[in-house]
Structure 1
Amino acid sequence: MDSLQALRLGIEAVRFLLRPIEEELRFLGDPWLDLPENIPSGLGGKNDSRFRKVVESEMDRVSRENGDDPDALRATERMSLESRRARLLAALK
């Protein structure tokens, strides 16, 4: 097990332990149990790709329902990540 796997397993364990009391948990007045869900992986390239596509498709649908353009949201997020990466690499020089 590598450190990333350990982190993912730890988050999953916290979610499991807090699920029974999630309605009681609040952070700044909002529901607190907003831990990222894992997308199943390790089931073979074709299955892993299928799971990712299903999640992405559903995210796009929800974005459209909220009046957003999912392609524009992805482009904005990509630019933000590229900017952060550039700043990090510059700081490491």
Structure 2
Amino acid sequence: MAGRPRPGELALTGPLAEASLAALCVDTAITGCCGLTSATGPTSYDLDDAALRRTAIASVRRRNRRDRPAEEIDAPPVRERHRRAGLRRRRVRTAHRGT
């Protein structure tokens, strides 16, 4: 694997990392996200990181992810399980640059 190292994360990003990952044929990829919205789905604050995740998803043979709208993740049964577990929900609004 080649790419630009991200300080403090032991991760590689950038075009070389994307090209290296695209050349592989992986069975399973486990990815995460920085945020989730009902309008756009998973989000990331870092463009290189987002591009690498897209490449990983495109390279994987087997997908074990939920392809459904984000609002379904917050369905009433899920909210109830979270409430019983003592988790609190908070809606956070952020100001976007350039708007």
Normalization by structure 2: what TM-score?
0.27
Normalization by structure 1: what TM-score?
0.28
Greater strand proportion: 2
Greater helix proportion: 1
- Select the structure with the greater relative contact order (CA < 8 A; seq sep ≥ 6): 2
